[in-house]
Amino acid sequence: MTWHCHCVQLCPQPDSDRSQTTVLSLVLLSLQFLPLLARSDGAEMSHVDRGKRSSSGDSRSQPSLSESAVPALESDDGGLVLTSDDTPSVSSSARSGDSNAGRRRPLYAYALLVLALLAVSSGGALMKKIRVSPVLKASHRMQATSAVLLPLFAGQGFMSLRASSELRAQYSKPWTWFKMATSAVALGVHFATWVYSLDHTSLAHSLLFVSATPLVLVVTSWVLFAFRRRATHVSLGETLGTVVGFVGLGLTLLDARDSSGGERVTVAGNAAAFAGAIAMGVYLNEGQAIRPWCPLYLYALPVTALAAACLYLASLGLEPQNKAPQSLVAWLSPPAVGWYAAVALGPGLLGHTVLNWVVRFLPPLLL
């Protein structure tokens, strides 16, 4: 089947062979890391406690899912606890602002963080290869990433949900899906505003402002502390670094109306990218509330797919030129599908999906 849609056009690339090689390399690299993420995440979710039981030699003392495989339900883990009526509440360490308190931070989590940052940093250059309205382009990216995550979701879901009735019960709760929906909306806003910024400012400015999430998290922490809603664990060095960061962002605004490498720098484009940074902070915080107990792909696919749906609906309202039914699947038409595959496998799978894995161990401020 061939879709004829004129809303997707690609910039002419004289080095198309090199581009195809890059896409193939991303595919091969992604496939190598899939078993690592699934194995390590699944092992810690459902198998570590089995080893503890066998070593203890006492079947009566076997911990339940809520005691080991679901660390977020423990009060000393900084995540969520279940009250007597099974209503999720926030533990004391989580209220103090350190949701990773008491949780081990393996060294390989830092290595995967570096990998994720390298993968995410390539997203801007790849997305600029595709000329399509920003909100629809963001929806297409989320659709492509969802297609990559679907078989992983099916495999992990079959194994995890079949093995644990408590995980099934927790996963099906309205509170869980409310948090996932909030995370999906934040992810959608992040990509919509960031992709918009790619068309209205330089690539360097867009990436700089959209990466300002740590500054937003520090300010949010201090605001909550000022209103006595939460204690803050932000250090003096982090606070000073935030001030320096905002000064640097302010100085870059002096480039407005200038051209950088043929790209025009605008305040509106920079502001849109910064809005994406704020949305990313919400996305990471919401993910941290679920990821300590929820398997990786059982979280990543619903959030990504919901974000894709929200972005497409927003595109219908904000971008009238995309109301043709075929615009929904225009990303499947060649040669656009090649670029979207590279974005989904590189920045999508190795980037954001790995960040969803790492957020189990590292605080959003570090990410």
Q: Characterise 186 by phi-psi region: left (phi > 0), alpha (psi -120 to 50), beta (else).
A: alpha
Amino acid at 123: G
Contacts of 301 (CB under 8 A, 6+ apart): 146, 149, 150, 152, 153
Contacts of 43 (CB under 8 A, 6+ apart): none
- Which two three-digit tokens encode residue 9? 């056009």
User: pLDDT for 113-166, tens place per residue?
Assistant: 999 988 888 888 888 888 888 999 999 999 999 999 999 999 999 998 888 899
Model pLDDT, residue 33: 52
Bridge partners, 89 (sequence order): 81
User: pLDDT for 206-258, tens place per residue?
Assistant: 999 999 999 998 988 888 877 776 666 778 888 898 999 999 998 888 877 66
Confidence of residue 191 (pLDDT cuts 50, 70, 90): very high
Half-sphere exposure of 57 (CA within 13 A, CB side): 0
Contacts of 358 (CB under 8 A, 6+ apart): 109, 112, 113, 116, 367
- Whether the predicted pLDDT of 97 surpasses 50: no
Cα–Cα nearest to 223, from 193, 215, 189, 99: 215
Structural contact between residues 346 and 145, judged by C-beta atoms closer than 8 angstroms = no
Confidence of residue 46 (pLDDT cuts 50, 70, 90): very low
Lowest mean pLDDT among 59-73, 284-298, 330-344: 59-73
- Whether the predicted pLDDT of 327 surpasses 90: no
Whole-number Cα distances in Å, 78 to 100, 102, 202, 241, 284: 6, 7, 40, 26, 15
Rounded (5°) CA angle 77-34-172: 50
Cβ atoms within 10 Å of 120's Cβ, excluding its own = 20
CA–CA dist 74, 167 (Å, integer): 14
Q: Given the DSSP bridges, would you call strands 9-10 and 263-264 parallel, antiparallel or unpaired?
A: unpaired
> What is the arithmetic mean of pLDDT over 59-68?
40
Model pLDDT, residue 363: 81
Model pLDDT, residue 292: 86
Q: Is 5 helix (H, G, I), strand (E, B) or coil?
A: coil
Half-sphere exposure of 131 (CA within 13 A, CB side): 5
Model pLDDT, residue 105: 79
Residues 58, 59, 64, 69, Cα dihedral to 10°: 70
The DSSP 8-state label assigned to residue 324 in this structure reads S
Q: Cis omega before residue 214 (within 30°)?
A: no
> pTM of this prediction?
0.72
Model pLDDT, residue 319: 86
> What is the arithmetic mean of pLDDT over 37-49?
50
- Which pairs count as long-range contacts for 64-72, CB under 8 Å and 24+ apart, including other chains? 64/166, 65/164, 65/166, 65/167, 66/166, 69/45, 69/164, 69/167, 69/293, 70/45, 70/166, 70/167, 70/170, 70/292, 70/293, 71/103, 71/292, 71/293, 72/289, 72/290, 72/291, 72/292, 72/293
Round the average pLDDT of the chain to a whole number and report it: 75
Structural contact between residues 303 and 183, judged by C-beta atoms closer than 8 angstroms = yes
The DSSP 8-state label assigned to residue 10 in this structure reads E
Contacts of 318 (CB under 8 A, 6+ apart): 135
In total, the chain counts a number of residues equal to 367
